[in-house]
Structure 1
Amino acid sequence: MELNMMQSGKPFLSWENQKNPSFEEDSVKGIGKEKLDSLKEFIDEIQDMVRQREELSKIIINECDKMKTEITNFLLINTAVDSDGFKERNGLRQKQIEISELQLNEKLNCWRDVALLKRELRDKQKELSEKEGRAIMLDNLMKGGLN
């Protein structure tokens, strides 16, 4: 097929003997590689944040357990004989209850934090999967040409 310029008769646009524009594979692959790498790093960071949050929660729970054990041991060793001793023991029992409430709140907050992080992780993994699929499709188009 050939389109001629009206006045000169010279070819204006010719498809015969035209080769597909050449693309270097490295430049095509590099188009989205940085975004994919950045997304992969972000996914790794989210996974690390989930692990760190769970570890922090375990540390807090364990510290609370230690405090409750120390209070229990103190209460077992020291018996109260006067009213001040009874008040002190009741105060320590109240502290045990407060520590237990703190543990429950920490478990709940950890669950919430991890749930939010995992939701964000799923979103980013889905985005990565879609972008990788598009990159593969683009790569296949470039290898096969634009026929």
Structure 2
Amino acid sequence: MQPLEILQEARNAKLYLLEAEERLQEAESIAEGTRAARYDNTSGRSSTRYYSSSLNALDAAIDNYRLAFSRFINAELQAWLLIDKLPDGQQGKLILFARYCCCRKWADIERRYNISTCTSHRIHRASLQELAKLQQEAAS
């Protein structure tokens, strides 16, 4: 796998984890609401059936979150190990970490490190090229 693919997978995994967390919170909220309605209205089976379907949805959301978390941990570890191969003190290390592990936008990175758009992309490109070179050397 190329360095950019590894880093992009880490970014995608983090974004997917954040989405899974939102879906889990929604499912928890729905299950809590139906549980409260069930205790208020114990007059029929429909409320019990709806409650049970909301619990099933909650279970599915929990399973989805666990899978997303596992994917995130694996991808994040690979990205960190890759970024750590760059020499200490390089600004590229910080930019790659901010972009792919913290999911920062380019504008946020440029503002945080007080660099221009052109400079941020140049450092990013040079860091990826250096990582590809290090990976190629390790393979041979």
- TM-score, normalised to structure 2, is 0.49
Is the radius of gyration larger for structure 1 or structure 2?
1
Q: Going by fraction, where is strand more abundant, 1 or 2?
A: 1
